Amino acid sequence: MKKILLSIIICFLSISSYAQEQITTELEKAYGEEKYDLIISEHSEKVSEYPAKAIYYVGLAYYMKADDNNVLKLMDLSIKKDKTDPDTYFIKGMTLNYMEQFEKAIESFNKAIELDSNNANYFSGLGDSYFNQKKYKKALSTYISATKKQENIDRPFTMIPQIYAELNQPEKALKAFYTSKENIAKDSDSYITALYNIGQYELLNKNYDKAEVALKELVELSPTDYHSYSKLVQVYYGKKEYKKAEPYKQKLYQAYEQGVLEGNLRNEFCFDQFVWNDKLVFGFERFAEKPDKIYYKHVFYVTDEQTGKTEFTIQTENSPISIEHGHEKYILGMDKNGTHSTFNYGIKENFEYDYLKKMVLNVLNEEIKATASSRKGKK
């Protein structure tokens, strides 16, 4: 009788174990098929009866629906039934990061790492916690640890150069962007970000050939990245290869006509930048032209070294009267300290940029004097 009873108990336990494995497998499959709403509607009320891993998958469905409170509730229930699954602690940590409860998130990620120290995702999540707290050195160390794991993931390679930038270490940031480019998926947004930043840093370093390589690859992969067209224009102006810049300027004008430009690009694009007396000067070209009215076409913004704010501008101004008399389309002007000044130097419509830049530098160095000045009235 005892043997029969024991056999019945074993049989019952086997059936129960099989049922639990089956529900876990079923939920794993449904999650893989992205049936999140189905998982929630059919299983959330019965979840307390499920094994830990099955509860985890129901929690993942809530995670994909951004229902943070239910995610935490189910991850805690899963942990209560099984404290040895690092994935559960990881999802809990990610959710706490989204909720900006970073200290609690750090506890969860550390527990996941304690259970499995070879998973790059766990270190990356922990790095995010530190990064969001602006603990950049801790974040950097953690992301670097993530890159040394067997399975590479994009995020740490993307974040490391950003941290070097935050720490004002541009040389290390550039090197890290090159490393990022070599390790992340070529079809990802992060790859485009790496190319853009390589182009930007190399442009600032006046390594125009390297900047050109990065930015040309970028616009081939992302033909509507109009900011990169502006950067390529700057590259060719830096190399004094102005004809090579023209096709990219034309693409910007076409995009302007189509109304697809956003942000600062909606009105103007940067074509050159240079340093004068430790001040950075940005040369912008404006798209819009106003026939029979005075407008600024090429504007050079002279910026404050500390704040980056514009101190004054030098610009080409169209001259309807000059055009009417068959003379040059533009004259040189300056707005500084509430005073508008003009200089008796005409600029042709199809001017050579070296000549315009020389005139701008002459104004900056006070080598030419204004022919007329007037105070601007208050608006």
CA dist., res. 232 & res. 209, Å (int)? 11
Average pLDDT over residues 7-16: 42
pTM: 0.83
Confidence band of 12 (pLDDT split at 50, 70, 90) = very low
Question: Does the structure show a pLDDT above 90 at 2?
Answer: no
Predicted local distance difference test score (pLDDT) of residue 374: 82
pLDDT the model gives residue 326:
61
pLDDT at 114 > cutoff 80: yes
pLDDT at res. 149: 92
Tokens read off for 350: 């199809």
Q: How confident is the model at residue 168 (pLDDT cuts 50, 70, 90)?
A: very high
Q: What type of residue is 186?
A: K
Find out whether 283 and 249 touch, Cβ atoms under 8 Å.
Answer: no
pLDDT in tens, 352-362: 999 999 999 99
Q: Quick one: average pLDDT of 88-111?
A: 98
Q: Which of 207, 203, 206, 209 is nearest to 228 (CA)?
A: 203
Q: Using the predicted structure, report yes or no on whether residue 10 has a pLDDT greater than 90.
A: no
Residue 328 in this model has a pLDDT that exceeds 80: no
In one-letter notation, the amino acid at residue 228 is: S
pLDDT of 19 > 70? The answer is no
Helices 86-98 and 120-132, axial angle in degrees (round to 10): 20
1 pLDDT above the threshold of 80: no
SS3 313: strand
Which residue matches tokens 């929630």?
A: 40
Q: What average pLDDT does this structure show over 220-242?
A: 96
Q: pLDDT tier at 8 (50, 70, 90 boundaries)?
A: very low
Q: Does residue 236 register a pLDDT over 90?
A: yes
pLDDT surpasses 70 at 231: yes
**Greatest mean pLDDT among 71-75, 148-152, 326-330:** 71-75
What single string gives the DSSP state of each residue in 15-40?
Answer: HHHHHHHHHHHHHHHHHHTT-HHHHH
Q: What are phi and psi of 335, to 5 degrees?
A: -115, 115
Please compute the mean of the pLDDT values over residues 142-166 and round it to a whole number: 95
Residue 165 has pLDDT above 60, yes or no: yes
Closest alpha carbon to 130 in 161, 82, 158, 163: 163
In the three-class reduction of DSSP (H, G, I as helix; E, B as strand; rest coil), residue 9 is classed as helix
The model's confidence at residue 345, banded by pLDDT at 50, 70 and 90, is confident
**Higher pLDDT residue, 332 or 319?**
332
pLDDT at 312 > cutoff 80 = yes
Closest by CA position to 243, among listed 232, 227, 228: 232
- Compute the average pLDDT of residues 233-252: 97
Determine the Cα–Cα distance for residues 30 and 48; give it in Å rounded to an integer: 19
Instruction: Say yes or no to pLDDT of 109 above 80.
Output: yes
| Strand 268-276 with 279-286, pairing | antiparallel
Q: Would the pLDDT of 15 be above 50?
A: no
Average pLDDT of the segment spanning 216-242:
97
Is residue 311 classed as helix, strand or coil in its secondary structure?
strand
**Sheet strand arrangement including 296-303:** 268-276, 279-286, 296-303, 310-318, 330-336, 339-347, 372-375
- The per-residue pLDDT for 321 is 67
Under 8 Å CB-to-CB from 322, ≥6 apart: which residues?
Answer: 328, 329, 331, 346
Query: What backbone phi and psi angles, to 5 degrees, belong to 116?
Result: -150, 105
Handedness of CA 39, 41, 47, 50 (dihedral sign): negative
pLDDT by residue (tens digit) across 250-279? 999 999 999 999 998 999 999 999 999 989
Q: What's the CA gap between 45 and 353, in Å, rounded?
A: 72
Q: How far is CA 333 from the centre of its chain?
A: 36
Q: Answer yes or no: is pLDDT of 370 > 90.
A: no
Q: Look at residues 285, 278, 318, 309 and name the one whose alpha carbon lies nearest to residue 299.
A: 285
Q: What is the mean pLDDT of the chain?
A: 90
Domains of the chain are 185-259 (1.25.40), 267-379 (no CATH)
The alpha carbons of the chain give a radius of gyration, in whole angstroms, of 31
pLDDT band at 7 (very low <50, low <70, confident <90, very high): very low
